[in-house]
Structure 1
Amino acid sequence: MRIDILTLFPEMFEGVLQHSILKRAQELGAFQPNLVNFREFTTNKHKKVDDYPYGGGAGMVLAPQPIFDAIEHVTEGSAKPRVILMCPQGEPYNQKKAEELAKEEHLIFICGHYEGYDERIRENIVTDEISIGDYVLTGGEIGAMAVMDSVVRLLPDVLGNASSAPEDSFSTGLLEHPHYTRPADFRGMQVPEVLTSGDHGKIEAWRREQSLYRTATRRPDLLSDAELSDKERDQVKKWQKD
C-alpha cells in the first residue's frame, strides 16, 4: 500500500513512521509512506498557503491551488486513489472504515490547519471525509496518524499473528476480553482459574462472555450491530437491568 500524506508539518510523522508496526510494515514492503509538504507547491511568492475567508470571519482558510497541484503531482500515473480529508465534519471513524481502507492500494491524506479548507477542495478532490472524534485538534496530522496506523496494521503479515487483528476490540463488534499473563498469582491477585484449566472450549466461552459483559457495561451502543444469540441477548438484558 502507498500512502501520501499532504501536510505543512511532515516532521511530525518522522517518529511515528520509524517505530513499532509502521516501521515493521515498511521493512516488509507492505507499506510505502510519502510525506508531501504542500507549501512547496504554492505559486504565492511569499509561500503562503492560506488566505482570508470571503465574507469575513475569524481565522484563515487553506487555499485550493497548493493542494490541487500537490494532489495532481502524487496521483500522476496512478490509478484512482482514495483521497481522505481529515475534518471534524467528516464521518466518525471506526474499525469497519479501517477494514475498508485497508483493501485499497493507494491512500492520500490531506492534513489541514487554520480555520478550514476552501470548499472547492472538498467538492472536487476528496473521496472521504473522516473525523476521529467530536473535539478540535490544531491540525489533521494527529488524526491522520491514527487512521494510518489502524489501516496499516490490517495489511497482510504486518502483525505476524494472523489472528491478532480479528480478535481486537471492535473487529468482532464487541470490546475485547480481559488478558492475563504470568505469574498466575501476583501479590495475592489470581488469574481466573478457567484460563489455566487447559480446556479451550471453556476458555473461549469465558472470553466471549467477558467480551459481551464489557461491551454491555462500557459501550452498549455497539450491541445494536453485534451478532448475538438469543441467549446472549437475554444475558445482556439481565446485566443492564442489574
Structure 2
Amino acid sequence: MHFSFLTLFPQLVEGYFSDSILKNARENGLISIEAIQIRDFATNAYKSVDMPQIGGGAGQVISYEVLSRAISSLQKTTNQDARQNQAQIPQQDFALDSTQDFAQECIQSTNQATDKNTSKSKNTSKNASKNTDINICKTARPHIVFLTPCAKPFTQNDAKRLAKKPHIAFVCGRYEGIDERAIEVFADEVFCIGDFILTGGELAALCMCDSIARNISGVLGNSESLQGESFENYLLEAPVFARHIKGEKILDSPLTDFSTADFGFSCQTSTKNDKNFVNFIAPSVYSKGNHSKISTLKNDLAVCKTRYFRPNLFEKWKIHNPNNPKKKG
C-alpha cells in the first residue's frame, strides 16, 4: 500500500517511519511512503503558497491554485508510472473492484511465476515482487483525503475500510486552512481526528496512516493483536494486566465488584486518594487458565469500561446488542 503526504513540512513525515512496526512494514514492502512538498508547485519567486482570505479575517489560506497543481501532478505521475510499469505487471485480468485487494492479487501472481526458478533466482524474484507491489500501488488512482477540523471524526471502521485501498494521498493543511474550492474539487473524503485544533494536518495524517497501516495484513507480527481491541463491536478494550515476574499469586481485587448479578454498572473502584489504591490486584480469573471464563470476564469488563468512559459508544453497543442481559443500567 502506498501513502502520499502533500505537506509543507516533509521532514515531519519521514521521521515517523524510521522506527518500530511501520519501519519494518516499509522495509518488508508492505507499505511505501512519499512526502511531497507543496511549495514546489508555487510559481511565484518567493515560493509562497498562502493567500489572504476573501472578505478579510485573521490568518492566511493555502491557495487553490498551488494545491490544484500539486494534486494534479500526483495524478499525472500515477498515470505515467502505470504506463511505465505495464511490462513489470503479470499479464492477468484483475477485477478492479472496491472489495478486492488489487495489489495482493498481483503479489500472488508474481510469486506463482517465480516458483520454477532456482533458489538464488527465487530470492531475487522475491525482492522484485516487493518492488512490483509498491509500483502497482503507486499506479493506482490515489484516494485523496483532506485533514480539517471541519469534518467527520475518523474511526476504527474507517481505518479498516481504507486499509483496502492501494494508494491514499493525505493533504495536510496549515495556516488558517485550505481554500474550500480545493476540498470540493479534489477530496474523496474529509476527516478530523477530534474536537481540537492542531498547528498543521501532518500529525492528523500520521495518526490516520498509522491506524490504517496496522490493519494491513502482515504489518503486525501477531494478527490476533487486532482482535478485541478498543472500538471492536462498539466497546473499549477490557483492562489488561502484566504478569508478575516473581510469580506471586494473583488474587481477587478487593476494590472492584465484578459479579454478573449486578454486573458492572455499580462497579466500585477506588480513587487515587484511597489509601488502598496501591493494593489493587488483578482478577483471579485471569490466572486460572479457563479461557471461557476469561473471555466472558473480559467482555463484561469491556462493557463496564465503555459505559463509564464512553457513554456514547455504550449506547451504540446497546442498539447493536438488544438481547444482551448486561445492556440495562
- Structure 2 length normalisation: TM-score? 0.68
- Displacement after TM superposition at 1:141 (Å): 0.8
Amino acid paired to 2:323: D
Residues of 2 paired with 1:213 and 1:79: CA distance? 44
Structure 1's 171 and 20: CA in aligned 2 closer, same or farther, altered over 3 A?
A: farther
Residue 191, structure 1, aligned to residue 252, structure 2: no
Residue 160, structure 1, aligned to residue 253, structure 2: no
Amino acid paired to 1:98: A
Residues of 1 paired with 2:203 and 2:150: CA distance? 16
Map Cα deviations across residues 162-205 of structure 1 (whole Å, 9 max, x no partner). 11113210123200011112215488653321111111111111
Residues of 2 paired with 1:114 and 1:158: CA distance? 34
Residues of 2 paired with 1:29 and 1:172: CA distance? 31
Residues of 2 paired with 1:60 and 1:151: CA distance? 31
Amino acid paired to 1:122: I
Match of 1:225 in 2: 316
Residues of 2 paired with 1:82 and 1:126: CA distance? 8
Amino acid paired to 2:60: M
Match of 2:25 in 1: 25
Residue ranges of structure 1 left out of the alignment (5+ in a row) = none
Contact 1:216 1:236 in 2 (8 A): no
1:122-201, aligned counterparts within 5 Å? 122-183=183-244, 185=248, 189-201=280-292
Contact 1:165 1:171 in 2 (8 A): no
Contact 1:166 1:172 in 2 (8 A): no
Contact 2:14 2:35 in 1 (8 A): no
Contact 2:4 2:36 in 1 (8 A): yes
Match of 2:167 in 1: 106
2:305 to 194, 199, 214: 214
Contact 1:86 1:144 in 2 (8 A): yes
Residue 36, structure 1, aligned to residue 127, structure 2: no
Structure 1's 59 and 202: CA in aligned 2 closer, same or farther, altered over 3 A?
A: same
Residues of 1 paired with 2:210 and 2:4: CA distance? 14
Residue 204, structure 1, aligned to residue 265, structure 2: no
Match of 2:87 in 1: none
Contact 2:2 2:167 in 1 (8 A): yes
Residues of 2 paired with 1:132 and 1:189: CA distance? 34
Contact 1:213 1:236 in 2 (8 A): no
- Displacement after TM superposition at 1:14 (Å): 2.6
Residue ranges of structure 2 left out of the alignment (5+ in a row) = 80-138, 251-277
1:59-98, aligned counterparts within 5 Å? 59-76=59-76, 77=79, 78-98=139-159
Q: Secondary structure, in 3 states, of the residue corresponding to 1:190?
A: coil
Question: In the comparison of the two structures, how many residue pairs are matched?
Answer: 236
Residues of 1 paired with 2:179 and 2:45: CA distance? 20
Percent of pairs identical after alignment? 36
- Displacement after TM superposition at 1:16 (Å): 1.1
Structure 1's 114 and 154: CA in aligned 2 closer, same or farther, altered over 3 A?
A: same
- Displacement after TM superposition at 1:228 (Å): 2.4
Aligned-residue Cα RMSD (Å) equals 1.7
Q: Decide which structure has the larger Cα Rg and report it.
A: 2
